Every structure is written in C-alpha cells, then in structure tokens.
Amino acid sequence: METSQQGSRRMNESAGKKRRVPARLASSALACSDDTVGRVSGWRSRAARVRRGRAKSRAEFGTVLFVNAESWHCFDQLAAVLGRRGVRTVRVLATEIPRSRIDRLTDRFVYGETVNVHDPEGVDRLEAIVTTEPILDLQVNEREYLAIPYGSRSWSLLASADPSWRWRGHLYDKAVLAQVLDDAGVGVPKMLHGAATSPEEALVRLGAPMMVKARFGTGGSEVRIVGDAPSANTAIDDLTGDANQVFFQEYLDGDLLGYGGVFRGDEPVQQLTAIEHKSLSDPLGPTARAQATIDGELQTSGRRARDALGTRGFFAAEFLRAPDGHVVCIDVCTRAWGSFLCWTGAGLDLVDGYLYALGVTGTLPASAIALQRETVTVFPAGLLDTFERGTWPATLRATCREVYRYAPTTGIRYCALATTRLLVQRVRARRGKVPTEPLRGGGTKVPWSDG
C-alpha cells in the first residue's frame, strides 16, 4: 500500500507534467471556437480539461501562495476566484494527514498546483516556484504556520517570498494579540493568563460564566465556556493540557459585529461593517448570515486594530457590543475570512480590492457605501442549519439558490465540491464518525471548512 509520503512525492512529481493530447483531439480543438467547444459533448470534458490545465500553469499576473492545512479549506473560495482572474494559485501543505477524494479533487480543480513540503522533492518544487515566479502574496492559515518548523528550509523559502512571514507568529498568539490591541486603544474583553492565574481566581475576577481559550487556534474550535472551576480544569485538559497555553477571558453577550477591509499599504481600499449571525448548529463557528450597516465606532475600532498589527491585503475583526454600548474586539483575521465573498452579489467585490491592493489592477474598486441594510447569506456556512434541520426538498432548494449566486464568481466546480464536503461532514457527524467537541448547552461542534 502506498504510504502518505510516497503519495506526496507522486503528487509533487506530477504537478509539472503536461497532459498528453491525442493529435485528433488537438486538431479538432484548433478548428473550433471556445463557444463551440462548450457545446460539443463528445469531447468536451477532455478538451476542456486540457485547456484548463494549460491556463492554470500560466500565470497572467503572478502567483499567490496559500499555506493551508488539508483539513481546513479556508482559502478555497479565494483560490477559485483568483484562478478565474488570471492569478496562479499554489497550495502549500505542511501537515501530513489522510487525504480524502474531495481533497484531491479540490487540489485538481481549485488550485493551480499543490506542493507538499513533507517531501524533499516538494521543498525543491517550492524553491523553484519562489525563485522563478512573481509572488504577489502569501495567504497563511494559522495552524499551518505553526506546523512548519522555525528555521527549516521551507520556513526560509516562505520568508524569502514574503518578509512578513518572519513576524507573523505574534499575530496568531491570541493572548499576545489581545494585549497589543489593548495597548493600541482597541477595546478587548478582560483577560487573565492561565500561567499566572488559577481557574478559581479567574472566576472570582472575571465572573461566571467565563471563557477558556487556547492561545493558538482558529474557527472557534479552541474555545470553551465554563461556569465553575472543575469545568475550567476539564477545558484546559481538553484544549492543550497545559495551563501555560491557555488564557481566561470574560464572557460577554450582545450583538455580534464584523469589520472587514482590504488595505494597500496603510490605506484602506475597501471597508465594510456588518451585523453578523452565526449558525444555530455551530454558534462558535463561522458567520452564516450578515447584514451591512454603517457604524462609525465599529469602523474606527476595526481600522485601529489593523493599524496596530500592520497587515496588508485582507483584514477582518469580530466585535461585540458591550453592555455599556461600546464595541470590544473578540477576534481578528489577517487573511481572507470566511464571509468575504458573500458581498460580491450585493455589489461589493472584495477580490477586486485585493487585486488592486496587490498592484495587479489599476482601477479603484467600488466602495461599500451602497450596502446599507443589505442582508446576505454566506456560502457554504449559511446552508449548515438547512442541512441539519431542514427537509431534503428544502435543502435542495437552498443549495441550488446559493450555487446559482456563487457559481458565476467561483465556478461550478468549487460550489459542487464545497457543498459535497459540507454534506459529507454532516452525514458523518450524525453517524458518529467525526470527532466532535462539546459546546455550551450540550451541543457539539463539528470540524469546519471554508473559513
């Protein structure tokens, strides 16, 4: 049986190979226009795959690297859109886990190339990409950043592709991040370090319930809400097993608010504020629906948070409206976030802003002024409740409606893969085949994808 390392080597070796096309097929393709190719069913699939493969290997504007875990598909939407706009996309894997058929299809149809740096040949391929192709940006998933050993060859290559790689680590330590934001004047919930505070003391100072958070984590999966000291100790053991790697934070309840923007240097290209709604099935997970709003205090706080961290390109932050009326920041995202693409159908194309920020296009994109009170559904997170509680006819209608909205931007292949992945996760969770994590109120949290 093929080992995972052998599979990675075979994937990296095949990345640069050209697909052989029969002479009869090639001559037929030359004799037909693109519109004719789309209508001829006899050889449509083969010829279309050949053309797509050649388009993926040719970067019209440059290359964006996605350092992204196999089990965390937070960049699939962005990669699908960029590939359709002339930007080459390369997925860099550092964690070695079993790869499903959907993962392999995603690598084939969403990304231009996938490189696994577990294999020395994959590192060689990454070096060739970094040294020969114009690297526009480096989109990094927090989990994968921590999986690449500091000072390794892969680490050095990514640092040469984007100098910000060297200092990104402090953005992913949520305890350090909260302190940086507090020093910059951004409101944050009260926080106590697990290394210096016992759960009993934290409950006295913060009140019950309180939150126990791992210092490193994404997607809400490393968050627990507890009401007593035994539950807090259990949460620490469940999250990291080490009190030095967690912190305690006061629990606040209120309206969930979102700030998102695209920055070119220190200047905002596009900014957006919204009221966010989580899925009922996953209250600590990604946003499922959002309503645009105009909130000056929220925009000021979001801009201040971005300035404190000094990131470029995509930036997002989540806030809560505290009981005193002020907004407090509960999370930041220094990459493409899960709901960034949902505003495209409402007239705000954040990918246009991203390409402008990278210098790919010279036309200033549309702003968010016309989005007031616009409500949008996030794909695929917005389908989670329908998959969980709805009937099959209702699920089918909702899925077709969202695919119809997103397919012109991302392509039908991405929509099919994302929907299938979500459905498989929910079915496997119901059958008890997916490890679940406890949530407040006796619910469960299922590992999530797409941001």
pLDDT digits (tens, 9 = 90+) for 234-273: 999 988 888 889 999 999 888 899 999 999 999 999 999 9
My answer on whether 362 and 259 are in the same domain is: yes
- In 3-state terms, what secondary structure has residue 155? helix
Residue 26 domain-assigned?
no
Q: What is the predicted pLDDT for the residue at 398?
A: 87
My answer on whether 374 and 384 are in the same domain is: no
Residue 52 domain-assigned?
no
HSE-up of 24 (CA within 13 Å, CB side)? 2
Which CATH number do you get for residue 139?
3.40.50
Residue 27 domain-assigned?
no
Domain that holds residue 12: 4-18+57-168
My answer on whether 306 and 435 are in the same domain is: no
Hey, what amino acid is at 341? L
Residue 64 domain-assigned?
yes
Q: What is the dihedral of CA 292, 379, 429, 140, to 10 degrees?
A: -90
Find tokens 């060689």 and name the residue: 124
CB atoms within 10 A of CB 436: 12
My answer on whether 152 and 205 are in the same domain is: no
Which CATH number do you get for residue 356?
3.30.470.20
My answer on whether 215 and 354 are in the same domain is: no
230 to 18, 237, 316, 440: CA distances (angstroms): 59, 11, 34, 15
Residue 81 domain-assigned?
yes
**Tell me, what DSSP letter sits at residue 367?**
-
Q: What is the predicted pLDDT for the residue at 279?
A: 80
Beta pairing partners, 7: none
Rounded distance between C-alpha atoms, residue 187 and residue 257, angstroms: 13
**What are the 10-residue block averages of pLDDT along the chain, 451 residues in total?**
50 45 33 31 36 46 87 85 95 81 87 91 95 95 86 94 88 89 94 92 93 82 88 91 91 92 94 88 79 91 95 94 89 90 87 94 78 80 76 84 91 90 76 43 30 33
Q: What is the predicted pLDDT for the residue at 322?
A: 83
Residue 450 domain-assigned?
no
CB atoms within 10 A of CB 135: 18
Rounded distance between C-alpha atoms, residue 28 and residue 171, angstroms: 53
329 to 143, 258, 282, 304: CA distances (angstroms): 21, 9, 20, 11
430 to 249, 381, 417, 423, 451: CA distances (angstroms): 32, 17, 20, 11, 22
Q: What is the predicted pLDDT for the residue at 70?
A: 61
My answer on whether 429 and 313 are in the same domain is: no
391 to 288, 394, 395, 418: CA distances (angstroms): 19, 5, 6, 20
My answer on whether 147 and 200 are in the same domain is: no
Burial (Cβ within 10 Å: 0-12, 13-18, ≥19) of residue 330: buried
My answer on whether 87 and 224 are in the same domain is: no
Rounded distance between C-alpha atoms, residue 368 and residue 292, angstroms: 9
My answer on whether 387 and 371 are in the same domain is: no
My answer on whether 294 and 400 are in the same domain is: no
Q: How many domains does the chain have?
A: 4
Residue 42 domain-assigned?
no
Q: Given 235, 250, 265, which residue is the final one in a domain?
A: 250
Q: What is the dihedral of CA 361, 363, 369, 372, to 10 degrees?
A: -50
pLDDT digits (tens, 9 = 90+) for 29-71: 323 333 322 332 333 343 344 334 434 444 578 999 999 866 6
What value, to the nearest 5°, has the Cα angle with vertex 12 and ends 11 and 13? 95
Residue 315 domain-assigned?
yes
* Phi and psi, residue 86, nearest 5°: 90, 15
Q: Which helix (H) or strand (E) holds 60?
A: none
My answer on whether 374 and 385 are in the same domain is: no
Q: Are 65 and 139 in contact (CB under 8 A)?
A: yes
Spacing of C-alpha 164 from chain mean position: 18
My answer on whether 142 and 198 are in the same domain is: no
